[in-house]
């Protein structure tokens, strides 16, 4: 939704090797266990963020059912989504297992979790970019739908983005 959420094209995905991915997740897990009592606020924010995310999933699922099967250029096959630090912190603070590897290992790669029938990951475990990004066709459809659905979704995505930032800040404070 916001350009500031997207990574600059000059960046490459972090933790591209399986070993680096495992090390990053082990490090977050280590800090979560070591500073568990200091991370209560971060865990609460992560739970609230999860609830907000889950509240928009039905609308996102609906818009995807209406648009994705007929798309000539599916985002899931042409985009370069990857997990960032906030994504991993979110998963760990919510007790969700991270997937076995980073979504892509280079900017030219296709997401390893994309299939002919959509993403193989549950929505809650996908990178944030896979939730907030709406293609132009989806954006138009939501605007035309009326009933304030576009505004509600946009508002919720902004709240989620802000709570993800708060969650990360609380995590860093908790382990500092």
Dump strand ranges (E) for the chain. 114-115, 118-119
Per the prediction, the chain carries an average pLDDT of 89
Residue 3 forms part of a structural domain = no
What total number of domains does the chain contain? Answer: 1
41: exposed, middle or buried (C-beta count within 10 Å: 0-12, 13-18, 19+)?
middle
Residue 164 forms part of a structural domain = yes
Lowest model confidence (mean pLDDT) among 114-123, 141-150, 163-172? 141-150
Q: Residue 88 is part of which domain span?
A: 13-175
Residue 8 forms part of a structural domain = no
Residue 18 forms part of a structural domain = yes
What is the pLDDT averaged over residues 24-35? 98
- Please give the model's pTM, rounded to 2 decimal places: 0.89
Residue 53 forms part of a structural domain = yes
Residue 2 forms part of a structural domain = no
Confidence check: pLDDT of 141 > 90: no
Q: What is the pLDDT of residues 50-76, one digit of tens each?
A: 999 999 999 899 888 888 888 888 888
């Amino acid at each position: 939704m916001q350009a500031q959420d997207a990574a600059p094209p000059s960046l490459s995905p972090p933790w591209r090797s399986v070993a680096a991915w495992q090390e990053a997740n082990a490090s977050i897990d280590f800090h979560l266990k070591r500073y568990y009592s200091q991370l209560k606020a971060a865990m609460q924010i992560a739970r609230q963020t999860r609830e907000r995310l889950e509240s928009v999933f039905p609308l996102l699922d609906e818009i995807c059912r209406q648009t994705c099967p007929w798309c000539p250029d599916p985002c899931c096959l042409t985009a370069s989504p990857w997990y960032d630090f906030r994504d991993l912190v979110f998963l760990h603070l919510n007790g969700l297992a991270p997937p076995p590897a980073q979504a892509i290992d280079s900017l030219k790669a296709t997401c390893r979790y994309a299939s002919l029938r959509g993403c193989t990951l549950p929505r809650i475990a996908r990178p944030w970019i896979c939730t907030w990004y709406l293609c132009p066709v989806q954006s138009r459809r939501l605007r035309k739908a009326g009933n304030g659905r576009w505004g509600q979704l946009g508002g919720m995505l902004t709240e989620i983005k802000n709570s993800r930032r708060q969650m990360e800040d609380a995590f860093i404070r908790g382990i500092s």
